[in-house]
């Protein structure tokens, strides 16, 4: 009975949990910041240790003002969403975990350090050159962090279908931008 309780507590600990989120107006864009707590289950840790790179994606969606978003989409291909992808990998030769963003990377001695760094985003520029950012209009949005299975190699995408071990996401977290008065 005690073993079952420990296993279920460990299963609940795996995943992505939101800690905080915020937004600031900066020039002609909005800067988002968020913090998530991440932990990997045994399946994902094994895949990482065996050379699979895990892509994690931050996603932002503008939720208010809806009319502005709809109008701008129709008029000039405005996109009320944004995404940012990081890739987590393990290099067996150096015994280091590597977190890549584009051409930039950081190395970490442990998976916990890498996951801690992955769970923090600061100064993420969204809604660049929009009336919301320029006029500092109040807005609402939401942000999440998830393991992006669609960026895995095709054989892994097929093998993950219907398996909860590969589903890792935080759920949406609200972000509000209000002008301080």
pLDDT at 180: 44
- Residues 7, 29: Cα–Cα separation, whole Å: 45
96-111: pLDDT as tens digits: 999 999 899 999 999 9
Give the residue from 59, 54, 89, 60 showing the smallest Cα distance to 160: 54
pLDDT category of residue 6 using cuts at 50, 70 and 90: very low
Residue 2 vs residue 32, higher pLDDT: 32
User: How far is 162 from 169, CA to CA, in rounded Å?
Assistant: 15
Q: Give the C-alpha separation, 82 to 61, whole Å.
A: 7
Q: What's the pLDDT at 134?
A: 76
pTM for the structure as a whole: 0.82
């Amino acid at each position: 009975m005690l073993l079952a309780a420990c296993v279920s507590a460990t299963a609940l600990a795996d995943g992505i949990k939101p800690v905080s989120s915020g937004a600031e107006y900066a020039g002609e864009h909005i800067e988002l910041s968020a913090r998530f707590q991440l932990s990997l289950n045994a399946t994902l840790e094994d895949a990482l240790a065996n050379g699979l790179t895990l892509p994690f994606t931050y996603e932002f969606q503008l939720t208010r003002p809806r009319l502005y978003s709809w109008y701008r989409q129709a008029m000039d291909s405005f996109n009320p969403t944004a995404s940012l992808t990081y890739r987590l990998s393990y290099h067996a030769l150096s015994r280091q975990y590597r977190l890549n963003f584009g051409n930039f990377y950081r190395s970490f001695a442990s998976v916990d350090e890498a996951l801690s760094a992955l769970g923090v985003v600061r100064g993420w520029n969204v809604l660049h050159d929009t009336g919301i950012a320029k006029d500092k209009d109040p807005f609402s949005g939401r942000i999440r962090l998830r393991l992006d299975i669609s960026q895995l190699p095709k054989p892994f995408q097929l093998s993950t279908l219907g398996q909860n071990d590969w589903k890792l996401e935080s759920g949406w977290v609200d972000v509000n931008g209000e002008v301080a008065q």
